[in-house]
Amino acid sequence: MSPPDSQTQSADSAFEELRAAAESCTSCGLCEQRTQVVFGSGDPHADLMFIGEGPGAEEDRTGLPFVGRSGKLLDRLMGEEMGLTRDSVYIANVVKCRPPANRDPRPEEIAACRPHLERQLELIDPKVVVTLGNFSSKLLMDTRIGITKLRGRAYAWSGRALVPTLHPAAVLRGGGDAMAMVRADLVRAQMIVNRSTGDPSETEPAVVDLTELSELADVAGANR
């Protein structure tokens, strides 16, 4: 194996600096009740990044994102539909500290934590982002349209593709239909990664412009 070049070393050290800054962060009130910051885990050079909402109790205890039943399901579906393990992707959340009683993060908490996520995206520079669930999908796509209308497509977003899908917890609650939707979305995401890394046999799926969200917004009940 060839030694890492200086650009890679500098990106790695910037990533570790970011992790250290996040792990001592007190920029919002969520720092008061956390056990530890859940910065993210996986390969900081990954082509694929998953983004969820925020840590739950198990994540707060272990310091790792998407552990527990939802995480195990995500691991399984990633393996079955993409042939990937969590070590070969990057997994993070919109907020890095657990909201008490698993409530939704508040706007001021999201705003305070956003620089951590934006810097993670900048340094990892994934080809494809998969947002897990209503919350992170609506937030990153800056829309009020709900996940059931958003999913099923890939969108051009910040110079990469964004594939919104259901949260694994919704699959655990929702059964077969929800499971089939997530499976299809993960296949879609992997095809775009393959294409962007040079597999000429991958011609689909299309990546649509975010302006097409306005069409979805016209659909009755689009905010669910």
Interface residues with ligand SF4 (CB under 6 A) are 22, 25-28, 30-31, 37, 95-97, 109, 112-113, 116
Amino acid at 200: P
Shorter beta-carbon distance to ligand SF4: residue 28 or 51: 28
Nearer to ligand SF4, 56 or 205 (CB): 56
Q: How many Cα atoms within 13 Å fall on the side-chain side of residue 136?
A: 27
Write down the H helix ranges in the chain. 6-23, 57-62, 68-82, 107-124, 134-141, 147-150, 168-174, 176-196, 213-217
Q: Give whichever of 22 and 77 is closer to ligand SF4, judged by the CB atom.
A: 22
Q: Is 183 exposed, middle or buried (0-12, 13-18, 19+ CB in 10 A)?
A: middle
Query: Residue 112 Cβ, how far from ligand SF4 at the closest point, in Å?
Result: 4
- Residue 28 vs 170, nearer CB to ligand SF4: 28
Q: What is the nearest approach in angstroms of ligand SF4 to the Cβ of residue 107?
A: 12
Is residue 160 within a helix (H) or strand (E), and if so which, with residue range? Answer: strand 160-165
Amino acid 78 reads M
Minimum distance, C-beta of residue 66 to ligand SF4, in the bound complex (Å): 17
Closest approach of ligand SF4 to the CB of residue 117, in Å: 9
